Structure 1
């Protein structure tokens, strides 16, 4: 069953790149569940632990810990990630970051809930699948 995350807790699940980890397959799966990019946990996928964006010195040292505060945004790595997610999953990290910067985290999270809530069961959709993992595991 997909976890239902309270809105105020979801802010901690927004990665520096703009990915909403609550919508990630690795976070929603039952076995070896990833705690999200921003959590320090040795059980999270290796790719998340060594992520260039998450470990970027500029991101680690700015006040928001998001890419939108970087003068080089979008960098090459963010552009690559954004392109892949636009093509494969219909979602843009850069658009997410711009929304957070321009409208604030609360508006962004509200929009995420509206966009990614399953109309059938009310669970969170997975951005990596075309179906609700709660309704159709």
Structure 2
């Protein structure tokens, strides 16, 4: 009897989804640095969910709460509330962040910001929706993982998804 109860409890806990993979990208989810919080592992988690950089809701992970970019005094003075309007753009912090994400995840914040500035938020959100949707099952792909959480599809283009001007 105890074994059956343990197996039933294990099944119930494993049935619970670890990640939300049905995310609709909206402008409020685009961080000042150009990160799409909607494709971030912290935002996609169902437990200890991060509400996104621009949200005032808690709890936020310490790396978001203490982020130099989101807490930048110069950013608060910009009209757009994006780093590209800052007089120090690109700052050292953003250069380091872009290098890390370009190298590890195939995502350039400089490219994201350029698209937002040059083509507008609607075009950027459409682009993000296209590149962050699994072609096999239609789920949202995480920027931090090359494999779809739902179907296991390997996102081979993750390292080649940088914005290119036409």
TM-score (structure 1 length as normaliser): 0.93
Task: Identify the residue that residue 110 of structure 2 maps to in structure 1.
Answer: 94
Range with bigger deviation, 55-64 or 78-87: 55-64
Task: Identify the residue that residue 67 of structure 1 maps to in structure 2.
Answer: 83
- Count of residues in correspondence between the two structures: 134
8 Å CA contact retained: 1:2, 1:134:
no
Unaligned runs of 5+ in 1: none
Asked if 1:2 is matched to 2:17, the reply is no
Give structure 1 regions of 4+ aligned residues with deviation exceeding 2 angstroms: 1-7
8 Å CA contact retained: 1:2, 1:133:
no
Unaligned runs of 5+ in 2: 1-18, 153-166
8 Å CA contact retained: 1:13, 1:36:
yes
Question: C-alpha offsets along residues 77-102 of structure 1, whole Å, 9 cap, x if unaligned?
Answer: 00000000011001101110011000
Which has the greater radius of gyration? 2
**Aligned partner of residue 20 in structure 2, secondary structure:** coil
Asked if 1:26 is matched to 2:3, the reply is no
Task: Identify the residue that residue 51 of structure 2 maps to in structure 1.
Answer: 35
Asked if 1:50 is matched to 2:59, the reply is no
Task: Identify the residue that residue 3 of structure 2 maps to in structure 1.
Answer: none
Task: Identify the residue that residue 155 of structure 2 maps to in structure 1.
Answer: none
Ranked by relative contact order (alpha carbons within 8 Å, sequence separation 6 or more), the top structure is 1
Shift of 1:61: 1.9
TM-score (structure 2 length as normaliser): 0.77
Q: Equivalent of 2:145, from 126, 129, 136?
A: 129
**Aligned partner of residue 49 in structure 2, secondary structure:** coil
